[in-house]
Amino acid sequence: MPLRLCNIFKSFGEKQVLADFSMEVPDGGRVCLLGASGGGKTTVLNIIAGLISPDSGSLELPAGSISYVFQEYRLLPWLTAEENITAAAGCSKERAREILAAMELAGESKNYPEDFSGGMKQRVNIARALARDSALILMDEPFKGLDPGLRERVINRVDEFCADRTVVLVTHDIAECDMMKCNKIYEI
């Protein structure tokens, strides 16, 4: 079942963030939401994730669970990187370590988020989303804060792990859309 948003309207107080927004992503497809800050890109992801409700419009989701790479990491500070992944994604320790290694964090699985740099936290955030056996992955500026070389390697790994999954990527950088092989770009 494809991901489909039809004629979505959403306002926060007086400010209208989404007006008649529609989007369709086929099963296993990848789309990119591109645009300036405050355009409503994160709002679209939050509506898909069920964190907020649209004022009007309809939403159809693919069967299965959702993973979300949040913009602000949202890691549990009292759990190690590995435990953050197993607790949220419900996967085994081995799987968590495998994905952490893919994110070039092999030696960091027993360390705590407080001891990580922003880029490392972001990679744990990505690893958590990839570790879950989900049909749909939402990514809100997932590669922000990664230096260029690392960013390219991480994008390649994410591309591999996202095979056959539906992906909605939010970014300011059109190059990321290309590297993630997005089929369609929605400018909002």
Q: Which DSSP helix (H) or strand (E) runs through 20?
A: strand 15-25
Q: Which is nearer to other proteins, 87 or 175 (CB)?
A: 87
Cα separation, 86 vs 113, whole angstroms? 14
The beta strands (E) that lie in 91-172 are given as: 136-140, 166-171
CB of residue 124 to other proteins, shortest distance in Å: 12
Instruction: Return the bridge partners of 25, or none.
Output: 3
Q: Which is nearer to other proteins, 86 or 171 (CB)?
A: 86
Q: Which is nearer to other proteins, 12 or 78 (CB)?
A: 78
Q: Quote the Cα angle for 6-12-15, to 5°.
A: 95
Q: Which is nearer to other proteins, 108 or 151 (CB)?
A: 108
CB of residue 110 to other proteins, shortest distance in Å: 9
The greatest distance separating any two alpha carbons of the chain, rounded to the nearest whole angstrom, comes to: 48
Structure-token match 């926060």, residue found = 12
- Fill in the amino acid letter for 107: G
Q: Which is nearer to other proteins, 19 or 76 (CB)?
A: 76
- Of the CA atoms within 13 Å of residue 18, those in its CB half-sphere come to 27
CB of residue 157 to other proteins, shortest distance in Å: 20
> Where do contacts with other proteins occur on this chain (CB under 8 A)?
49-51, 65-68, 70, 72, 74, 76-79, 83, 87-90, 112, 114, 128, 132
CB of residue 112 to other proteins, shortest distance in Å: 6
CB of residue 68 to other proteins, shortest distance in Å: 5
Q: Which is nearer to other proteins, 83 or 159 (CB)?
A: 83
DSSP letters of 2-60?
-EEEEEEEEEETTEEEEEEEEEEE-TT-EEEEE--TTSSHHHHHHHHHTSS--SEEEEE
CB of residue 37 to other proteins, shortest distance in Å: 19
